[in-house]
């Protein structure tokens, strides 16, 4: 197994833990005390989701070339990790209307990155 994939698996696991239990990683997620508002509680989970996304990107892409697919993949998986953590936060912490705007933006960026990957990999 490639070294980058092993690092990716470790980062993805760490990111999933950070998103699920942000209080365990207080200095990294913004404090171990409970957040005052739902919005901030959900945002604490996003940092773990970004680590998860970097791990997923390292698992998916172990070579840098071709650059067009690598850039699109990194963007796609980074947004996927943030989106998964945001949706988990919405489920656990409760609904916040401003968070749904971020869900829509991240979904749109993921769609653009997926179309970019599809186009760059001779799909179109």
Q: What's the whole-number average pLDDT of the chain?
A: 90
pLDDT at 124 over 60: no
Residues 85-111, mean pLDDT to the nearest whole number: 94
pLDDT at position 85? 96
**C-alpha closest to that of 28 among 8, 5, 9, 11:** 11
pLDDT at position 88? 96
Q: Which domain holds residue 85?
A: 3-120
As for how many domains the chain has, the answer is: 1
More confidently predicted of 101 and 63: 101
Q: Within a 13 Å sphere around the CA of 41, how many CA atoms are in the beta-carbon half?
A: 18
Q: What is the DSSP string of 1-70?
A: --HHHHHHHHHHHHHHHHHH-GGGGHHHHT-SSPPSSHHHHHHHHHHHHHHHHHHHHHHH-----SHHHH
Q: What are the pLDDT digits (tens) for 26-52? A: 887 777 677 778 999 899 999 999 999
pLDDT at position 26? 82
Q: Percent of the chain at pLDDT above 70?
A: 96
More confidently predicted of 46 and 66: 46
More confidently predicted of 95 and 32: 95
């Amino acid at each position: 197994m490639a070294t980058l994939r092993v690092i990716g698996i470790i980062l993805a696991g760490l990111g999933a833990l950070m998103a699920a239990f942000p209080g365990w990683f207080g200095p990294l997620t913004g404090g171990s005390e409970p957040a005052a508002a739902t919005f901030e509680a959900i945002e604490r989970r996003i940092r773990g989701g970004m680590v998860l996304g970097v791990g997923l990107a390292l698992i998916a892409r172990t070579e840098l070339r071709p650059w067009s697919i690598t850039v699109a993949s990194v963007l796609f998986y980074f947004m996927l990790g943030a989106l998964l953590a945001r949706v988990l936060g919405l489920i656990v912490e409760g609904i916040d209307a401003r968070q749904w705007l971020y869900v829509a933006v991240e979904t749109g960026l993921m769609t653009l990155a997926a179309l970019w990957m599809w186009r760059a990999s001779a799909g179109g």
